[in-house]
Amino acid sequence: MATHQTQQIAREGQFEIVDGYAPEPARLTLERPDVFGLYEQNIGMVTPILADRLTEALQSYPEEWIQDAIAESVAYNRRSWRYIQRILENWSTEGRADETNRRDHEKHLDSEKYLRGKYAALFRKR
């Protein structure tokens, strides 16, 4: 039960330090949904086997990667754990699109590749 003095301090918006404790202003933190809830909301029911696979994935990849992989699979309407797992494996080997170690396909694209060699006649520009 609050005393009259405590109620008055709270009403006036004043705070005092009590035994080395000073109240801090409230902070709003936006939390992303956990992987299990996100999977259930977007893909399907989490079975015990799938829960083990999600736990293994959480140990292997950052949680943000898994959440982004689920979002990408939903965007392409490929709602399966196997598809999500392949996305994570590709990101692990090739890097993500927002990282510098991602393979640059345009850099490696050779537009003349099919115009040379054994089957060049099939690809010649007309």
- Which pLDDT tens digit goes with each residue over 94-106? 888 765 444 555 5
Q: Which candidate, 34, 63, 62, places its Cα nearest to that of 46? A: 34
> Is residue 120 a contact partner of residue 114, using CB atoms and an 8 Å limit?
yes
| CA–CA distance, 69 with 25 (Å, rounded to integer) | 35
Task: Check: pTM over 0.75? Answer yes or no.
Answer: no
Query: Cα 123 from chain centroid?
Result: 41
Tokens linked to 114: 């099919």
For position 120, what pLDDT does the model report? 74
For position 4, what pLDDT does the model report? 57
Label residue 69 exposed, middle or buried (CB < 10 Å: 0-12, 13-18, 19+).
buried
Q: Which candidate, 8, 18, 10, 66, places its Cα nearest to that of 42? A: 66
Identify the CATH class of 32-95.
mainly alpha
* Average pLDDT value for residue range 8-36: 63
